[in-house]
Structure 1
Amino acid sequence: MAPSLSSTRGWKCKEFEAQYQIVQRGKAWDLSKVNVEKLREEFKQAPFKNIQIADLQAFLQRKLAEMLAQNSTRTDFLQRLQNVIDAYNSGATSTENYYELTAYAQALKEEAERHIREGLTEDELELFDLLKKQSLTQDEIQRVKLAAKHLLKRLVEEQPKVLIQNWHQSAQTQKQVRAEIERVLDADLPDSYDRTTFKQKCDNVYDLAVEYAMRGKKWAA
């Protein structure tokens, strides 16, 4: 069933296998091996094009759900996929729809590999995406990356530990976590972040930490 925008949060809460695969013509494949031109050539020869579309759409829906669970900032990819699905349901031709799906698959593949290009882990990338803002210089981008790295290390690895068990259930430990987030970001974020932007970024990271702690997920559990 096609995803709805209202189900975004539910998607984030689901767990999926690290590598979702589907079988196409007897071969298992994954996103990292998607070849757009090859898929389009195969589609031209496919006798049951609606099945090809359904298979690719199902694969992309599940892969996107997995990637949303890894990085909550990827909701624009959900909107884009929904637009492709809506266009098909509104009467777009099968060829047009499949080409749009393969273009989307390529974009999703590039997003899945972005943390490697940025020199970050998946968790660091999520924090980086929350912390960055528009109109950053290259030097400032590097500072924001370092801020994401330092913050995650401080919260997860360094002593004294602040993300203790059930920290989100105590006002005192909540304040401690919030204070550490502000301290690290105040030291590391570029000077171009005004106080309003700084507070917003601190709020974003803190809210994510609380959400993960409540769900018992990832680094904030």
Structure 2
Amino acid sequence: MTPKEIKSAQGLGKAALIGEAVEKLIATDEAKREYLAKARAVSRVYKAILPDRSSTEFTADAVLVSVLAERIRSLMPRPDISAIMQDVEDLLDRSVAPIPYETPEDAEAIDISQIDFDKLRAKFDTGKQRTEAERLRALLSQKLTAMVARNPTRAEFLDRFQKLIDSYNSGSQNIEAFFRALVQLAEDLTAEEQEAIREGLSEEENAVFDILTKPEPELNEKERDQVKAVARDLLQVLKDEKLVLDWTKKEQARGAVRQAIEIALDRGLPDAYAEDVFNKKCDILYRHVFDAYQTGREGIYAAA
């Protein structure tokens, strides 16, 4: 397959060739980064010679390079606004020229819990394997970022995800093993999200409960129920009385939140908590509340 073949193709044939080209360009993270860097350079040079009439000689090539770069970026995690501001060239690439190309299918984010993993595996086996792995990787990256923000005890999943990527990039895993590991991680995340339901807690109550119980201490069923009650009662007190407007910016308000946490844990936690464990839990829980509820009583859970 050559650039000339892609440019001369029409309709679905062109879309298929673009897909095959992307599959080759994303063989590794290094190859992907190298292509995107070169695509930005092509875009800059092309724009530099506009509106000179001689630029028309290079229009089709510049468009193809830009479209391939856009297709690759569509497979990656959505950037935050700071990333967009640092790389405005990516946005400018979209206006290189008016030649229409088909947009990537299934580009929108999907809910992991709605994934049919059997169909996903079948699509991988019969389709463009690197492209499917890249899509799943991007989805997991977004999902994990949100999950860890809402419950810091899930950081182990993020660490596991990064190790998978490092292993694949180092050549320790082929694309099939990498994809299978990503699917297993996605299935485990789905099971993790069901934990709050199993425990009879809301997501934010479950975050407090996890902080208080993971990785220690070991608790019996009665003690676990005590901790669940602490999680519910503490959140209620914080929301009703302590999480006032701009509380993170006011020393007195921050102190009141910290004190409320310490009082609730001291009164409600079972005797299984040694002093050092108790102090550690107070610290971690305060940091979680500070990070998760900066915008007020609903915090990052409002979107749920």
Q: Same fold (TM over 0.5)?
A: yes
Cα pair 1:36 1:103 within 8 Å, conserved: no
Cα pair 1:140 1:190 within 8 Å, conserved: yes
State yes or no: 1:203 paired with 2:283: yes
State yes or no: 1:155 paired with 2:238: yes
Write out aligned runs for 1:161-176 (5 A).
161-176=241-256
192 and 206 in structure 1: CA distance in 2 versus 1, 3 angstrom threshold? same
What CA distance in whole angstroms lies between the structure 1 residues aligned with 2:125 and 2:143? 24
State yes or no: 1:143 paired with 2:222: no
1:138 is matched by which residue type in structure 2?
A: E
Cα displacement (A) at 1:216: 2.7
What CA distance in whole angstroms lies between the structure 1 residues aligned with 2:227 and 2:260? 16
Cα displacement (A) at 1:137: 1.2
Write out aligned runs for 1:7-22 (5 A).
none
Cα displacement (A) at 1:108: 1.1
Cα displacement (A) at 1:205: 1.7
Q: Where does residue 60 of structure 1 map in the other structure?
A: 140
Gaps of 5+ in 2: 1-28, 31-76, 82-103
Q: Where does residue 105 of structure 1 map in the other structure?
A: 186
What CA distance in whole angstroms lies between the structure 2 residues aligned with 1:55 and 1:178? 41
Which structure: larger Rg? Answer: 2
Q: Where does residue 33 of structure 1 map in the other structure?
A: 114
CA displacement 1:8-52 (0-9 Å, x = unmatched) = xxx9xx79xxxxxx954x998421122333322222211x21111
Q: Where does residue 87 of structure 1 map in the other structure?
A: 167
Relative contact order, higher structure (CA 8 A, sep 6+)? 1
**TM-score calculated relative to the size of structure 2:** 0.58
Cα displacement (A) at 1:220: 6.3
Cα pair 1:127 1:148 within 8 Å, conserved: yes
State yes or no: 1:45 paired with 2:121: no
Q: What percentage of residue pairs aligned between the two structures are identical?
A: 34
What CA distance in whole angstroms lies between the structure 2 residues aligned with 1:34 and 1:220? 28
Q: What is the aligned length?
A: 199
Cα pair 2:239 2:297 within 8 Å, conserved: no
Cα pair 1:155 1:162 within 8 Å, conserved: yes
For the residue of structure 2 that corresponds to 1:73, the secondary structure is: helix
Q: Where does residue 18 of structure 1 map in the other structure?
A: none
Cα displacement (A) at 1:218: 5.5
More helix by percentage: 2
Gaps of 5+ in 1: 3-10, 16-21
**TM-score calculated relative to the size of structure 1:** 0.78
Q: Where does residue 190 of structure 1 map in the other structure?
A: 270
1:124 is matched by which residue type in structure 2?
A: E
Cα pair 2:196 2:206 within 8 Å, conserved: yes
For the residue of structure 1 that corresponds to 2:152, the secondary structure is: coil
Cα pair 2:243 2:257 within 8 Å, conserved: yes
